[in-house]
């Protein structure tokens, strides 16, 4: 079937996208803070034990993120004035409330990211998904004391009904469709896609490709430099996707600091959140991409 979820729009044929203060690039951190069920396989650093119950090796590696890695990363975010856009499993709010408290103190943006990263929604019926989304969104908004505006499915999974169902709950954008360097409207009125990245993502780069810290830094800088150049003509979005159990490892910390120093040190960069990107686009550029 052809894609009816959004329309084709060549970026070179769109009106100029202008960010606040004339910034060339809107930069945000997509920080995945997740919970994993102990008896199900998931993202693994060693496939040889991923089928075991429990899989102490891989589960422990993932669990490091909420126990240690996130707190190390917070130091870097605070140092460089970055407020992450948190892709939050609702189970995190229930099981790790200290993380919610720390994020609220820093005015992080909270996006709904499923119940946990062991449950995917792609095969749910409409009513199953409606109940699931309602529970996730209400749990997160109740725990954070803030409305939820954005959605990203675990492993970027959706159904064809997801945009319509999140709109019913008052959400206005998704990150799952990584098809652009600018926001664009979906064919559900009032719902946008905001850029995210599966390539500029610490799991893919460090775990999938085994990049060194220096190679990671260069990839991020190369991405930023090109978008910055193109942003002279029309605004771009740069998302950097991070996971505390990957980027939060001690030997990678200095590379996170280097990346943040490079990007936040440049003129013409709007260091922001996905919430603010979506709101700015919705207010000023409703017809762009049509």
DSSP state letters, 118-178: T---TT--HHHHHHHHHHHHHHHHHHHSS---EE--GGG---TTHHHHHHHTT--EES---
Express each pLDDT in 157-178 by its tens digit: 999 999 999 999 999 999 999 9
Exposed, middle or buried by CB within 10 Å (0-12, 13-18, 19+), for 242?
Answer: buried
12 located within any domain: no
Residue 290, pLDDT > 80, answer: no
CATH code of the domain in which 57 resides: 3.20.20.370
Structural domain for 86, as ranges: 21-34+48-284
Contact 52, 268 (CB under 8 A): no
Express each pLDDT in 236-254 by its tens digit: 999 999 999 999 999 999 9
81 located within any domain: yes
129 located within any domain: yes
**Percentage of the chain exceeding pLDDT 90:** 95
289 located within any domain: no
pTM (two decimals): 0.95
How many domains is the chain built from? 1
2 located within any domain: no
171 located within any domain: yes
13 located within any domain: no
3 located within any domain: no
Q: What is the pLDDT of residue 289?
A: 41
């Amino acid at each position: 079937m052809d894609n009816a979820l959004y329309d084709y729009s060549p970026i070179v044929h769109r009106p100029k996208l202008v960010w606040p203060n004339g910034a060339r690039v809107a930069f945000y951190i997509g920080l995945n803070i997740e919970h994993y069920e102990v008896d199900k396989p998931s993202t693994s650093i060693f496939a040889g034990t991923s089928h075991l119950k429990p899989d102490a090796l891989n589960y422990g590696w993932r669990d490091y993120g909420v126990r240690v890695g996130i707190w190390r990363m917070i130091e870097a975010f605070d140092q460089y004035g970055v407020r992450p856009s948190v892709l939050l499993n609702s189970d995190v709010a229930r099981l790790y409330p200290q993380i919610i408290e720390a994020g609220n103190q820093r005015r992080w943006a909270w996006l709904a990211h499923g119940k946990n990263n062991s449950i995917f929604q792609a095969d749910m019926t409409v009513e199953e998904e409606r109940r699931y989304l309602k529970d996730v969104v209400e749990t997160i908004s109740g725990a954070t004391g803030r409305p939820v505006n954005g959605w990203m499915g675990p492993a970027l999974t959706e159904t064809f009904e997801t945009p319509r169902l999140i709109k019913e709950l008052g959400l206005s954008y998704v990150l799952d469709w990584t098809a652009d360097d600018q926001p664009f409207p979906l064919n559900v009125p009032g719902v946008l896609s905001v850029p995210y990245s599966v390539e500029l993502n610490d799991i893919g780069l460090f775990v999938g490709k085994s990049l060194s810290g220096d190679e990671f830094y260069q990839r991020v800088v190369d991405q930023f430099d090109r978008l910055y150049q193109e942003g002279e003509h029309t605004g771009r979005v740069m998302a950097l996707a991070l996971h505390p159990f990957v980027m939060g490892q001690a030997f990678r910390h200095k590379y996170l600091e280097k990346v943040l120093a490079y990007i936040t040190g440049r003129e013409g960069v709007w260091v922001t959140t996905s919430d603010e990107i979506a709101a700015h686009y919705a207010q000023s550029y409703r017809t762009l991409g049509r």
